[in-house]
Amino acid sequence: MANHLEEGKKFLDTVMYYYDKAAKHTGLPKGLLERIRHCNSVYKVTFPVEIDGEIHNIEGIRVQHSMHKLPTKGGIRYSPEVSEDEVKALATLMTFKCAVVNVPFGGAKGGVKIDPRKVSEKVLEKVTRRFATELIKKNLIGPAVDVPAPDYGTGGREMGWIADTYMTFKFGDTDAQGCVTGKPIGIGGIRGRTEATGLGVFYGLREFFNFEEDTKKIGLTTGLAGKTVIVQGLGNVGYHAAKFLQETGAKIVGIAEYEGGIFDANGLDVQAVFKHRQASKSILNYPGATNVENSLAMLEMECDILVPAALENQITEANADRVKAKVIAEAANGPITMQAEEVLLKKGVVIIPDLYLNAGGVTVSYFEWLKNLSNVRFGRMGKRAEEKSYSKIVDTVEALTGNKLTFEERASIVQGADEEDIVRSGLEDTMIGSYREIRDALVEKPELGDLRTAAFYVSIRKIALSYQMLGIFP
């Protein structure tokens, strides 16, 4: 079996193992648990695209894992390594991810077998528009049906092409922009989406470090300030997570990319490392840091928090026992295999699981979808009214105290919430509230054993309730 097929199978087996581990604690009927576990539908399509004068048959896939809530939701990945099992694993994770953060969607995922770095923008546009058309033909995309988003190898540009294609076919549908999220702002995107997943990772970690009884168990104090962090993958999620962690006082001592890693016990400046990599095309040779040629070895270096933010299957039975971090924050999807998890849990490592920790992206995608359906920017209706009320309060305080605020002081108090403020507030509330639900489940039912099992347990029960409310299952 080709390596990527094996990797995809390993990933799917891991997700299923985590599901089964949690499902047995729920006491729910077997038939219902099987319904929740299985992928609802898999659509595979091949379509011809001309590349450099030759016809290539491109393979695309869309998996809708669960329709207990509609629309279904999940990114589209562009990679030559896309496999059915990998997309199924990611679609399955999306179902539980949405449930754990109370986003009312079912899970889905898509993939197109193409290397976006090896073809021109024109070809990518042709492929994206054709794939979107194939989905439209089968009614597999739409604001009330299935709503894709960016994933590995895709971004706002591709989402814009999908939205434009959909809107061309559905002329006159005022909800049409909500057929896809992660769009550029100009065509219905939302402020705060780009950094949402990394910011969510930060909020999730901050919440873990608020509970003294939990940090004490692993020999750490509360709070993120001063904690040492290694990040794998300085892409969208890794960069933003590292940036917010650094801003709060954590020390980013190591960053790994596929070409190697860099380490500095005094802490790296994330923004400067990012710029250095952009300019020199490599993370290596960053001034003052030590080069680590073997990128994977970075995962085994001394730190309090390890943040894998690249790809799946990075911590395996081959390296798990050498991992020294006390907390692993799964910013990527599926970075730890099931065999590795057993080793890590035995060592007492706390794993903050992907289905919760990287759900910031889908949470803000949900906000974008809401914005598209209501056809109005968040904050547009209330911002000025809020500012007038706050201004009246400041006027009253000034009159009562006889003290006048400076222009800047007044401006910072009276400012009403704009779209970005509202999005961040919703994201922060979601990450805090969901962490507490997971932690409460673990406190109430210690036999769940770990945060991942507790997160699956919480989400399985929510999904089961949806089916039960539909009257399908007892």
The residues of the shown chain that bind ligand NAD, judged by CB under 6 A, are 151-152, 197, 232-238, 256-258, 295, 309-311, 331-333, 358, 361
Residue of 97, 109, 326, 371 with catalytic role:
109
Q: Based on CB atoms, which residue is closest to ligand NAD, 146 or 151? A: 151
Q: Nearest distance from residue 196's CB to ligand NAD, in Å? A: 6
Q: Parallel, antiparallel, or unpaired for β 228-232 and 305-308?
A: parallel
Q: Based on CB atoms, which residue is closest to ligand NAD, 89 or 464? A: 89
Q: Nearest distance from residue 256's CB to ligand NAD, in Å? A: 5
Q: How many CB atoms are located within 10 Å of the residue 392 CB?
A: 11
Instruction: Please give the full DSSP string across 343-405, using - where no structure is assigned.
Output: HHHHTT-EEE-HHHHTTHHHHHHHHHHHHHHHTS-TTTTTHHHHHHHHHHHHHHHHHHH----
Q: Based on CB atoms, which residue is closest to ligand NAD, 292 or 350? A: 292
Q: Based on CB atoms, which residue is closest to ligand NAD, 295 or 430? A: 295
Q: Based on CB atoms, which residue is closest to ligand NAD, 295 or 337? A: 295
Q: Nearest distance from residue 198's CB to ligand NAD, in Å? A: 8
SS3 268: coil
* CA-closest candidate to residue 292, choices 105, 303, 59: 303
Q: Which long-range contacts (CB under 8 A, 24 or more apart) does 160-169 make?
A: 160/184, 160/187, 161/125, 161/128, 161/129, 161/132, 162/76, 162/128, 162/129, 162/132, 163/187, 163/188, 164/129, 165/128, 165/129, 165/132, 165/133, 165/136, 166/132, 166/136, 166/141, 166/142, 169/133, 169/136
3 class by beta-carbon count within 10 Å (0-12 exposed, 13-18 middle, 19+ buried): exposed
**Closest chain position to ligand NAD (CB):** 235
| 109: annotated active-site residue | yes
Q: Nearest distance from residue 331's CB to ligand NAD, in Å? A: 6
Residues identified as active-site: 109
